[in-house]
Amino acid sequence: MNCNNWFRQIHRWLCIAFTLAVIINIIAMVQEKSSVWVGLMTLLPLTSLLFTGLYLFALPYATKWRDAGRSGG
């Protein structure tokens, strides 16, 4: 598996972690047990999702630029 696939897999599994954290957050809010660390639990995977997501976004463009450079125009 190459590096790009790793980023895709990490992004995919972080998305599950983020979804679970959101559900836990909602439950905590409904039960009025919300606290700073429950909130941070969602921010941590979301921040990682942002960086891996931006990497995945840039990937096709980076490939295009690289290929354009290789063919000399």
Positions in the binding site for ligand HEM (CB under 6 A): 8, 11-12, 15, 18-19, 46, 49-50, 53-54, 56-57
Q: At what angle do helices 36-70 and 3-30 cross, to 10 degrees?
A: 160
The answer to whether 11 and 53 have CB atoms below 8 angstroms apart is yes
Give the residue nearest to ligand HEM (CB).
53
Would you say 26 or 54 has its CB closer to ligand HEM? Answer: 54
Burial of 14 from C-beta contacts in 10 A (0-12 / 13-18 / 19+): buried
Would you say 54 or 68 has its CB closer to ligand HEM? Answer: 54
Maximum Cα–Cα distance across the chain: 62
Would you say 15 or 28 has its CB closer to ligand HEM? Answer: 15
CB of 52 to ligand HEM, least distance (A): 8
